[in-house]
Structure 1
Amino acid sequence: MKTLWAVMVVLILLLQVRLWVGEGSFAQVWSLKNAIADQRAENADLAARNESLYAEVRNLRNEQGAVEERARMNLGLIRKDETFFLVVDN
């Protein structure tokens, strides 16, 4: 009878070890849940950035004024009859 109890205790301990350590353990599941949450947060940030870029592309495709405004701000576009003034701060 004592042998049966000893075998059962060993089996329970082996099952507990598998539960707490190794593949499919609580620690691994917790780690994977954290990794999934981090990845979802990063994906949400990237989706928001992509949406703003798509909105900018749609704006540039549909409105000619948007292209001109961007050229003025980034490239220094000046029309033929305009005068350019450069103000320099000390």
Structure 2
Amino acid sequence: MRSFTAALVLILAWLQYSLWFGTNGYQDYAEVRQEIDVQQAVNNELLQRNNEMYAEIDDLRQGLDAIEERARHELGMIKEGETFYRIIETP
């Protein structure tokens, strides 16, 4: 009976070691869980960026105001009949 109890205790100890420190144990689970959290944060940032791009694309497709605004700010274009004044500060 004593050897049977000792064998059961050894099996229990081996199973506990395997659970906490073995391959696919708790430590591996914790590492993978942390990697998943990091990847989900990256995915959320990319999703937000994509949503902003889709909104800008829809704005450009629907109205000429967005196109005009881009032409003015990024390309420096002005309409006919407008006067462009550039103010330069002196140091």
TM-score bin (small chain): 0.7 to 0.9
* Counterpart Cα distance in 2 of 1:19 and 1:45: 35
Per the TM alignment, residue 34 of structure 1 is displaced from its structure 2 partner at its CA by 2.2
Q: Which runs of 5+ in 2 are unaligned?
A: none
Normalised to the residue count of structure 2, the TM-score between the two structures is 0.82
* 1:37 aligned partner, one-letter code: D
**Which position in structure 1 is the counterpart of 2:4?**
4
Q: 1:30-75 CA distances to partner (integer Å, 9 max, x unpaired)?
A: 2222222222222222211111110011001111121011110111
Cα root mean square deviation, aligned: 1.7
CA deviation string 1:9-34 (max 9, x = no partner): 22112111110112221122122222
Identity fraction in percent: 36
TM-score, normalising length: structure 1: 0.83
Question: What runs of 5+ residues in structure 1 fail to find an aligned partner?
Answer: none
AA at the equivalent of 2:50 = N
2:35 aligned with 1:40: no
How many residues align structurally? 90
Equivalent in the alignment of 1:24: 24
